[in-house]
Structures are given as structure tokens and as C-alpha cells.
A = this chain, B = another copy of it.
């Protein structure tokens, strides 16, 4: 059954909420009272519950099965995290309450910050960025502030080819000139090309490690040393921290700034596109420039350092990135996850994530081309290409075919350095049985695509929708619903 839009089933006279009667008072709205119809449809509670329950059933989700989106780290979201985030002491406090009334909340931020700093071997952490891309912004702002503080304006940011799209976008958004660094044939940053490009105009290198080919940048320390020697900073995209948490500390590799997607490594739910949270760990060199606000422990009190309270002791801060203190609702979840796992569990997270990815790589590299497979193990994701598929068959066909097998597709056509890339990240929360089922499905699809099974090109057949016309959507954008034109309808 199709689910109509709320605009097609609701009415402006129906409501699913009751209120006490409003006091009779003289309005203070002056001439501004809104008298036009807003056109906002309402539904009773039952109709509302049904509408969204039915809609939800048209989604795929981790709660339904393996979600092998490379670089997105779709792992299990523990339900304890949800319960904790909803405790009234966390969910129902205002960001501007007097600090004496939010000591527990400040303690959570402080405790989570301590874990992140220790796990990464860095010096400090900026907690307020709202998501990974926002964290990148934070890192670049700190780097810029540090360069300015030494009177050293620089205009270029180097970004390897295999970087996440957000990296160059962020750098450009900050007014930097972006230059690419090529990859080596084994899928890593070309160290020599990088060294050759370093110079007094380069502010920073943005590098993803483990990188988007699912490989660890073996030369990371050498790169950092070279970058530092050239007076620039190393920004690390921490989207793939899941692969190394508890086993490798980025601080030991010379990183100056790295964002951590709490919704990837630390299991806060993706929610169909957010909210995320992107704290940024900083080296000692960048720490003085960290944004406001932040939490400090003074004696047995936690203090929120913001404009009112910053005084002299953090005068070099680059300022505020968001209205309040970041994603508290994600902090409580992430801290709950971290405490649940502990140091031993987090190390096991990385171990099992990498084990699962290598198991997939080796279970399929006989039927799918693994461009870097010969060179050794991968980290937390297995990369395949479309090489060897029959003429006219693409990565897209395999991806859509997975839907009919009951799985979400892998990441497609990313990273760009591999043709028809298929990037598979199983995560550590998948059982061997689930992996085996997925491997069997992907193997059968690979065989069909190599054999040229035409039926595959029509997939998916067993989903709420067949392939959707994205071109039409972009050519004639319909972004809001409007009442059908009755005159047209009557024709």
C-alpha cells in the first residue's frame, strides 16, 4: 500500500494535541497577528502514529540487516545509549542554565573529552562541532588562527585525490585554495609528490587515515614530519577512526587536528541523515586556538568557559562555532558507548572491524577485482572495482541487486581513484553468520554481472520502489507539495 502525504490526508481542522484554554488577555502582537491560513495539515494521534509507522517500514536500517556502506561505519546503536540520552537530567536542561545547575552535564562533556584525548594521544579536544564536516572547519580555523598568530598567512591546502569530498569543500569554504596530491598505484598518498609541493604557501595537508581505499597510510609519520618541517599543519580526517581505535593513537603519528565522528566510531545513531557530532582533537600547537565554549575542571567544580568567563586565560581562541555547546545528546550516547566497551572493548572494536573487512576481502577477491588486494591486508573496509563485469554492467547494477537480496548496497563509485569502486565496510558488530550471508549474496551478484544476466539491470524488484528517475527530479525540481491544480486535473 502506498502512503499518502500528510497534505493529502490531514486537514487544518484536525489536531492530535490538546491544550489548556488560553487566558483571555489583550494581545501584545500589535498589527502582526498572522491571519492568513498557514496551510498546515493536522492528524489525530492515531493517524499520526500510523503515517509514520507505515513510512518507517519503507526504510532499510541497521536494525534490519547488515549495512555495508564503506566509510559510513553503520554499526549497531546500543539501546542503552538511547535510554541514557533521554534521562531528564540530560534531555531537559537548557543550554543557558546557571552552571551550578548543570554540573552533571559539564561532567559528561569533561569525561568524554578526557577519553577522546587519551584514545587519540592528543593534547586537547574541541567538543562543539556539530558533525564531521563541521569538525573539519574547526580544524582549519584552528590552523589558520595558529598561522596568523605567528604572522604567517598561507593560502593553500593540499588534499589527496582519495579524500572525502567534504575535505576540499571545507577548505574552499574557508577561502583556501585547494590542490590535489596524487595517489600511488598501491592506493596511498604519493609521498614524494607531497614533499615536492610543500612550501611556504601551504597551510595544511588534509589526509584521511586509514584512507578511503581502506588502507593505512604507512608513511603517515614521515608525511607529518615533512609537513611540520615546512611550517604547515597536518589535518587528519578521522572518519575511519573505527579501524584503529584502541590500537593506534593519531597523536603518535604527528597529527595536529582530527575530527571524530561520534556517529561512526562511537555508535550514535545516524537517524536517516543526522544529527552527527564531530569533536576535534588538537595537538599542543593548536590547543590555544580552540573554540569557545569548553569545559574545565577547577577544583571539584566544572566550569563552562565562554565569552562571559573566558577572561585572559584563553585569549587566542578563534571564537564560537555554534550557538551553544555542541551535541550534548550525542555526547551522552557516545560516553555511554565508551564506558560500556572500556579500553579493552574499544581495542576489540578495531580488531574485529578489521578482521571482518579482511574476511570479506578474501572471501570475494576471486570473483571481484580487489585493486589493492594483492598488496596486503585492508583496514576496516574492503575495496573492489568493476573490472571484469560484462559489457554494459556496472557497479550500480550490483548495488541495486543487493537490495533484492535483502541488504543495503555498499558505497559506490567512491573513492574516485578506483573505477566503479565498491567500498564495503561491515563493522565489528556483524556476526560471522551475517557476513557469510552477505558474501554469498555479493558473490552471486558478481557472477551474474560477469555472466551478463540482463535481469540484474532492472533491480531492485523487491523494494518499496523500483529505480527512481533522479534526472527528472533535478531537471524539474518539485521540492514542496502544492495542491493539485484543479483546472489541470479536470482536463
With CB as the reference atom, state the residue of chain B lying closest to A61: B53
With a CB–CB cut-off of 8 A, which chain B residues contact A391? none
A63 touches B57 (CB 8 A): no
The reply to whether the CB of A288 lies closer than 8 angstroms to some CB of chain B is no
Among the 9-residue stretches A24-32, A40-48, A97-105, the one with 4 or more Cβ atoms under 8 Å from chain B is A40-48
Render A302-321 as a binary contact track against B, CB cut-off 8 A, 1 for contact. 00000000000000000000
Question: Provided the pairs A44-B431, A406-B1 are in contact, do residues A65 and B50 lie with their beta carbons within 8 angstroms?
Answer: yes
Q: How far is the CB of A266 from chain B (nearest CB, A)?
A: 15
With CB as the reference atom, state the residue of chain B lying closest to A431: B47
Render A424-441 as a binary contact track against B, CB cut-off 8 A, 1 for contact. 000001110110000000
With a CB–CB cut-off of 8 A, which chain B residues contact A340? 18
| CB contact between A433 and one of B9, B64, B76, B434 (< 8 Å): that residue | B9
With CB as the reference atom, state the residue of chain B lying closest to A57: B57
The reply to whether the CB of A54 lies closer than 8 angstroms to some CB of chain B is yes
| CB contact between A49 and one of B57, B76, B430, B431 (< 8 Å): that residue | B76
| CB contact between A64 and one of B47, B54, B65, B430 (< 8 Å): that residue | B54
Question: Provided the pairs A53-B64, A57-B57 are in contact, do residues A44 and B79 lie with their beta carbons within 8 angstroms?
Answer: no
Cα–Cα, bound, A54→B46 (Å): 23
| CB contact between A53 and one of B54, B63, B430 (< 8 Å): that residue | B63
The reply to whether the CB of A275 lies closer than 8 angstroms to some CB of chain B is no
The reply to whether the CB of A458 lies closer than 8 angstroms to some CB of chain B is no
With CB as the reference atom, state the residue of chain B lying closest to A53: B63
The reply to whether the CB of A78 lies closer than 8 angstroms to some CB of chain B is yes
Render A114-155 as a binary contact track against B, CB cut-off 8 A, 1 for contact. 000000000000000000000000000000000000000000
Cα–Cα, bound, A62→B49 (Å): 9
Most chain B beta-carbon contacts within 10 A, residue among A64, A340, A431: A431
Q: How far is the CB of A482 from chain B (nearest CB, A)?
A: 21
Cα–Cα, bound, A433→B429 (Å): 44
Most chain B beta-carbon contacts within 10 A, residue among A46, A57, A65: A46
Cα–Cα, bound, A179→B50 (Å): 45
Question: In A242-285, which residues have CB < 8 Å from any B CB?
Answer: none
Cα–Cα, bound, A431→B62 (Å): 34
With CB as the reference atom, state the residue of chain B lying closest to A8: B433
Render A54-72 as a binary contact track against B, CB cut-off 8 A, 1 for contact. 1001000011110000000
With a CB–CB cut-off of 8 A, which chain B residues contact A430? 46
With a CB–CB cut-off of 8 A, which chain B residues contact A434? 47
With CB as the reference atom, state the residue of chain B lying closest to A9: B433
| CB contact between A46 and one of B18, B44, B47, B429 (< 8 Å): that residue | B429
Cα–Cα, bound, A118→B83 (Å): 38
Cα–Cα, bound, A45→B54 (Å): 25
With CB as the reference atom, state the residue of chain B lying closest to A18: B340
| CB contact between A429 and one of B44, B78, B429 (< 8 Å): that residue | B44
| CB contact between A63 and one of B49, B65, B76, B78 (< 8 Å): that residue | B49
With a CB–CB cut-off of 8 A, which chain B residues contact A65? 50
With a CB–CB cut-off of 8 A, which chain B residues contact A76? 44-46, 49
With a CB–CB cut-off of 8 A, which chain B residues contact A431? 44, 46-47
With a CB–CB cut-off of 8 A, which chain B residues contact A57? 57
With CB as the reference atom, state the residue of chain B lying closest to A14: B431
With a CB–CB cut-off of 8 A, which chain B residues contact A62? 46
Cα–Cα, bound, A434→B57 (Å): 19
With CB as the reference atom, state the residue of chain B lying closest to A43: B431
Most chain B beta-carbon contacts within 10 A, residue among A9, A50, A57: A50
A63 touches B45 (CB 8 A): no
Q: How far is the CB of A335 from chain B (nearest CB, A)?
A: 17
Cα–Cα, bound, A433→B10 (Å): 10
Q: How far is the CB of A16 from chain B (nearest CB, A)?
A: 10
6 new A-B contacts, CB < 8 A, other than A47-B434, A50-B63, are A45-B78, A46-B62, A46-B76, A46-B430, A46-B431, A53-B64
- Can you name 9 A-B residue pairings with CB atoms under 8 Å? A9-B433, A44-B431, A45-B76, A45-B78, A46-B62, A46-B76, A47-B434, A49-B76, A49-B79
Which 4 residue pairs across A and B have the least CB separation, nearest first?
Answer: A46-B76, A53-B63, A1-B406, A46-B429
